[in-house]
Chain A
Amino acid sequence: MEAQCINILETLAPCLVRGGMDPGLAQFLSIAAGVLIVSAIPLVSVIIFIWIERKIAARVQDRLGPNRVGPFGILQNLADAVKLIIKEDITPAGADRLIYNAAPIIAMLSVILIWGVVPFTPVHIGADLDIGVVYVVAIGSVGTLAIMMAGWSSNNKYALLGAFRVVAALVSYEVPMIVALLVPLMLAGTMSMQGIVEAQQGMWFVVAAPIAAVIFYISNLAETGRAPFDLIEAESELVAGYNIEYSGMKFGLFMASEFLHSFTVNLLFAIIFLGGWSGPFVHQLPILGVVYLAIKSLIPYLFTIVLRSTVPRVRIDQMMAFNWKFLVPVSIINVLLVAFVLKIIQELGLSPSPENVHDFAANVPQAVILLATNLLMGLVTLNVLRNAGRRERIADQARALRTAEQRDSAIVPSAS
Chain B
Amino acid sequence: MTVVNEWAFIGVFMAVAWLLPAAPLVISWIFRPRRPNAIKMATYECGVETVGDTWVQFKVQYYLNGLVFLVFDVELVFLFPWAIAYSQLDFFAFGAGLLFIFLLTDALIYAWKKNALEWQ
Residue of B nearest to A10 (CB): B1
> In angstroms, how far is the closest chain A Cβ from the Cβ of B60?
12
B residues in contact with A351, CB < 8 Å: 87
Chain B residues near A91: list those with CB within 8 A: 41
* B13:A332 contact, CB within 8 angstroms: no
The answer to whether A164 and B84 touch across the interface, beta carbons within 8 angstroms, is: no
Q: Is A385 an interface residue (CB 8 A)?
A: no
Count the A-B residue pairs with Cβ separation under 8 angstroms: how many?
209
Residue-wise, chain A 310-353 has the 8 Å CB interface mask toward B (1 for contact) of 00000011001100110011001001100110110010000100
Contact residues, A62-94 vs B (CB, 8 A): 81, 84-94
Known: A39-B17, A253-B21. 4 other contacts (CB 8 A): A43-B20, A116-B9, A178-B76, A324-B111
Q: Is the CB of B12 within 8 A of A31?
A: yes
Q: How far is the CB of B113 from chain A (nearest CB, A)?
A: 12
Residues of B within 8 A of A34 (CB): 9
What's the nearest-Cβ distance from chain A to residue B90, in Å? Answer: 10
B14 touches A113 (CB 8 A): yes
Of B5, B10, B44, B118, which is within 8 A of A156 by CB? B44
Contact B69 A105 (CB under 8 A): no
Task: Let me know if B40 is at the binding interface, CB within 8 A.
Answer: yes
Give chain B nearest CB distance to A32 CB in angstroms.
6
One of B5, B27, B79, B87 near A346 (C-beta < 8 A):
B87
Contact: A328 with B9, CB < 8 Å?
Answer: no
Task: Tell me which residues across on chain A come within 8 A of B31, comparing CB atoms.
Answer: 85-86
Interface band, chain B? 35 or more
- Whether A130 contacts B17 by the Cβ 8 Å rule is no
Within 8 A of A (CB), among B69-120: 69, 72-73, 76-77, 79-80, 83-87, 94, 97-98, 101, 104-105, 108, 111-112, 117-120
User: How far is the CB of B101 from the nearest CB of chain A, in Å?
Assistant: 6
Q: Is A294 an interface residue, CB under 8 A from the partner?
A: no
Is A134 positioned at the interface, with any CB of B under 8 Å from its CB? yes
The reply to whether B119 and A32 contact each other, CB–CB distance below 8 Å, is no
Which residues of B are found within 8 Å of A309, using beta-carbon distances? none
- For A36, the closest partner residue in chain B by CB is B16
Establish whether residues B24 and A253, one from each chain, have CB atoms under 8 Å apart when the complex forms. Answer: yes
What are 15 A-B contacts with C-beta separation under 8 Å? Answer: A39-B16, A85-B24, A88-B34, A108-B21, A126-B9, A127-B6, A134-B77, A155-B43, A155-B55, A160-B54, A182-B80, A182-B83, A189-B84, A248-B32, A249-B28
